[in-house]
Amino acid sequence: MNRDSVLVTGKTAIVTGGGAGIGRGIALVLARFGANVAIFEKDPARVRSAGQAIEAEGANVLALEVDVREGEAVARAVEATMERFGRIDVLVNNVGGVFAAPFLETSEKGWDALHRANLKHIYHCTKNAVEHMIRGGRGGSVINVVSIEGVRAAPLYATYAAAKAGAINFTKTLALELAPHGIRVNAIAPDICLTEGLRSLMSERRLERAKLTVPLGRVGDPEDVAGVAVFLASDLSGYLTGETLHVDGGTHASAGWYHHPRDGHYVYGPLDDEEEG
């Protein structure tokens, strides 16, 4: 182990949903640490933008327009990655999607849509990429970006939470199956992360209030998640598999404790008007 162990120089990483948000942050930081990066992204404008951003880092990039919910599209994209770089070492299954709805108002179509976006795409991408990792004989790293909602109750998000919980168990199980091939499988579970989507949904006041729920006192940034992804892709994590790392500023540990809005001391549960003022 030495200072170069954190580098991923010469490795090829696929990042799904790498055109924006957490996925883009992971793709950029992997490139900065030496990886060749293949971005699978369904939005054409984001494909171009992310590709240009990674090229600006001086890294090799293959930016592909891919809907990872479609198995045949994924197979073609993985083959294109192999043709360009000749190897696959890292797979980051980052794509996801969510909407709020009470379970009793969730249609079968809505259930299926969320599971395709949050769980089934992991099947398509992992099966295609891992087959090349095994043939390459160099081992590899599969990183599933899940959510804190996979390990806690999530009212109005039951379908999404069920899919994320499935991805967490899939991570553990696949870690055992792929261990004989030297392929490690881990997950990253963010909570509040300041992506473009979150900025568009939350006012500054709500963002300030959100900081009170985080023990470290700030919302996350895509690069916070990206740093852990580089660790999981690198030799530094060579003995780590089957784990879900909560990159959330401590919200998983806090389990309902949060900072008082007045002076920051820890409180549990709701405040009445007098306490809050």
DSSP state, 42? S
Q: pLDDT by residue (tens digit) across 82-131?
A: 999 999 999 999 999 998 999 999 999 999 999 999 999 999 999 999 99
- 57 vs 92, more confident: 92
Read off the tokens for 87. 């190897």
Domains in the chain, CATH or no CATH each: 3-276 (3.40.50.720)
With contact defined as beta carbons under 8 Å apart, do 69 and 118 qualify? no
Does 266 participate in catalysis according to the annotation?
no
- Least confident among 5-14, 150-159, 209-218, 242-251: 209-218
Write the burial class of residue 69 (CB in 10 Å: 0-12 exposed, 13-18 middle, 19+ buried).
Answer: middle
pLDDT tier for residue 228 given thresholds of 50, 70 and 90: very high
Q: Is the pLDDT of residue 277 over 70?
A: no
Which of these is catalytic: 160, 239, 266, 268?
Answer: 160
